Amino acid sequence: MHSGTPFTQEERRWNRMSETMSHFHEWFKREFNMVYEDHDNVFAKLADGSFSRRGLSLPGYLGEAKSMCTHLNFHHSLEERHIFPVLAKRMSVFSETAEDPRHIRSHRAIHKGLDDLEALVKKWVAEPSTYSPTEMRACLDSFREVLFRHLDEEVDDLKGENMKKYWTLEEVDRIPI
């Protein structure tokens, strides 16, 4: 999000992608943190099994984890199919063939974590008695850092000041998001 200083109409146009992406990304962070921890007490981790003390059953908790996976996978598939190819024409960090395909590489690491999480959720839905808070936390920890870093970096790369290096304002207006 921006610094708090109101944007002019032109600045809003330049920052449209960053601001829009920021809303989605902040929501994904909250969703991840809901699965990982209790919002009322950041030291009480739901992944440690305390979800039942917070009014969630194991199936409800696992449903939240599955929803997070579905939402992130859907978001990334939209980016990879419709947004990244357009941006990659001029911004190498969005290109699969670039020397440093930062966002593509991050997506792959995140998808590995999401695939692992989905496999665990599927296992625990089928056999609830095998649920392991330690295994859940380890899985979430395995991709938390790359996920949060990626969510922030992508928003930064889409900020108006950076977009001006690659695009005209009219071109930015035509980029789908």
Q: What is the pLDDT of residue 1?
A: 47
Q: What is the pLDDT of residue 171?
A: 97
The stretches of the chain forming alpha helices (DSSP H) are 9-36, 58-78, 84-88, 102-126, 133-157, 160-163, 169-174
- 137 within some domain: yes
Structural domains in the chain (count)? 1
Q: How is residue 92 annotated by DSSP? A: G
Burial class of residue 119, CB neighbours in 10 A (0-12, 13-18, 19+): exposed
- Cβ atoms of residues 2 and 22 within 8 Å: no
pLDDT along the chain (177 residues), means of 10: 68 96 96 72 52 77 94 95 94 86 92 98 95 91 96 97 97 92
Query: Which tokens hold the place of 67?
Result: 């929803």
- 45 within some domain: yes
**Residue 38 bridge partners (DSSP):** 41
Cα–Cα nearest to 22, from 156, 155, 153, 161 = 155
- 2 within some domain: no
- 81 within some domain: yes
Q: Which domain holds residue 90?
A: 9-173
Q: What is the pLDDT of residue 4?
A: 59
- 3 within some domain: no
Q: What is the pLDDT of residue 177?
A: 83
Cα–Cα distance, 142 to 144 (Å, whole number): 6
Cα–Cα distance, 72 to 127 (Å, whole number): 25
Check which CATH number belongs to the domain holding 129 and give it: 1.20.120
The model's pTM is: 0.85
